[in-house]
Chains A and B, each alone.
Chain A
């Protein structure tokens, strides 16, 4: 669950206890999108970033951002053990709700967005810092979506209980 993020990262030897951590939320990054980004976004940055850990989180129902953030904020408020910086990248979810093209097209758009939005921010982070990147929920292709009605119906939706919406990734990254 999302609140487990704090204890998950604490338990790893790669992040020292008390070390300042930067949490980055990639809103709506589902698992296959993460696999895609791992190769296309993080792969080319291998000389600047190293993924040193990854795992899965389960989203609560309904699988929406406000619900997950409610839980996460509570957990953060309770945890006083470390300094935390929190960055929200919301553009993925925005694209999911507005995209009418196929999955590959959606992923490429997201990749392009992250290259413009996230890359400069990651570059600014000083070497040696640890980043915890995580998602809050995923999404699923709307079975009711009709191409002929594409201006009124969303092609991608979330909020329900499919594994695509519920099981989402977290990862710990070290800046080189």
Chain B
């Protein structure tokens, strides 16, 4: 009784009278004492019961109380389900009966003296069962209407549309900034798609009044209209085209094209001209033609045109914000402040202004906080997931979601590490992964230091690197090395494995890290490390190649100027340079050269000396034969 009386549901049960009944019954037993003979004891007990006229009723009530306690937990669940604030039943005609039934069921607990007799409790439980069944039907129907179904399909298709792809390509032109950019479009799409939830199970609704997606009966979420997103894409393309055709851009691009034509790079010049010929796009044919014209190499060429030719002025928006926020100014005062902030006199018409901000945050705020701010501002839809699974697992999943893309690993392989991705309806795991990888990519681009900090934090976990290697399976170290773009530890280990393989044929070819235009997830520090290692591996490959070439010529050295020139340029000069720098590079990376590599270097030095002697003999002989003036 002490346990039960603490619940709100049972607050109106007259626990006092039950306690009294029990005390009365206990007092009957007080008449029975071990000091009396059996007969006397029984006589005293019967005498006492005769003095208690309601003894049978009290016994019956206590029996009922026992039976009530057997079902107390069910009743408590019923009360919690009905009083759950998430069990919202809107005040609409179609839900009126449901509402009234819920109120009546809750009314049972509001009565001043709750009846606990078996019949009342049976009726209560039966009514609740009926209510819950009707409620679940109504909920599933509304949920289906709002959160699942075909309405989401067109949104998913947008990302594969030619216009979206075109906007993505235009974003790679570094000097073009548009108000309607791809991040905006991605956010709009994600806002819709992440609200999708496939049908919740009846079992789950029997224990909780709402689905885990959080949908509440009667809720009507306004999805961003499809046309609004399509319009944003079109505006983005239009704005990019306007920029490209503006005089500020043309002034830089046209002379560059002319320069290309002057040096005979007609194809490149033609490709850029072809892109510039589009001043506006009005129909699908033009979209297709423009998309076709805007190849990755043309984008690169346009970017080249601006490098070294434009002046970029940086203006910190935080400074302007601090000067204006929570203050009152007249219009001329505001104009003066903006003018001073812009430093207009220092900017010419052709200058591009690069707006920066959050300067204070960058310096003073911890990486942790900056990550949370970034998430809240850019991917608020993922906040609930972070709260659900915790920061540590969330960060791991975020990095791995991007990492598997680079290595071509199927998402199915990572589900065992992140069970939360498999919870709920089919297909949502994939969607969450997509959003997580988009977050990782965006974080890398906009907050590379925070991204690197998270990489370091996650990599430092004891079992994490071995988990990554288990996902890589039997992949060759050279492929792993080239594809790696996030984790330096993977890069180092792949590098060491590669150098330890004697006579590796792969090293005879040029290594070049995978460049995927869709994945720009390498941070600048990572690029430096990878570049350094790639260079060292390529140097080693070159040494092997040049050594082979010198060996072939050992018994038959060149006998004329042309052949010596060719041998020097092709083999002697490069191998000498590489023999000098390669061991230093490996040393700088904190690694020791494996013995096959050391032997190769010694062999290279030996051959070099042989050819230097031959050259000296050849040139002395020719030079003296020709005298002091000319050959």
Binding site for B on A (CB under 8 A): 1, 3, 30-32, 35-36, 45-48, 50, 52, 56, 58, 60-61, 71, 102-104, 127-128, 141, 161-164, 166-167, 174, 176
Contact = CB atoms under 8 A, between A and B. Distances in A.
B305 A161 contact: no
B615 interface: yes
A163 B574 CA distance: 12
Determine chain B's interface SS by DSSP, over half rule: helix
A48 B262 CA distance: 12
B561 A58 contact: yes
B260 A176 contact: yes
Nearest to B255: A127
A176 B574 contact: no
B584 A102 contact: yes
23 contacts: A31-B573, A32-B573, A32-B576, A32-B577, A47-B256, A47-B304, A47-B307, A52-B263, A61-B619, A103-B581, A104-B581, A104-B584, A141-B580, A161-B615, A161-B616, A161-B623, A162-B612, A162-B615, A163-B572, A166-B619, A167-B564, A176-B256, A176-B263
B308 A102 contact: no
A3 B447 CA distance: 56
A168 B619 CA distance: 14
A164 B263 contact: no
Contacts of B574: 32, 35
Scoring A35, A36, A104 by chain B CB atoms within 10 A of each residue's CB, the highest score goes to: A104
Nearest to B620: A161
Contact of A47 (B262, B309, B564, B572): B309
A83 to B, nearest CB: 20
B620 A174 contact: no
A127 B564 CA distance: 37
B114 interface: no
8 residue pairs, one from A and one from B, having the closest CB atoms: A176-B259, A32-B577, A50-B263, A31-B573, A163-B568, A103-B580, A104-B581, A47-B304
B569 interface: yes
Given A47-B305, A56-B569, A58-B631, A163 B263 contact: no
B251 interface: no
B630 interface: yes
Contacts of A56: 565, 568-569
A103 B623 CA distance: 29
A47 B308 contact: yes
Interface string B610-631: 0010011001100100001011
Interface string B552-572: 000000000100110011001
B576 A164 contact: yes
B581 A163 contact: no
Nearest to B580: A103
B623 A61 contact: yes
Nearest to B304: A47
Nearest to A176: B259
Contacts of B569: 31, 56, 167
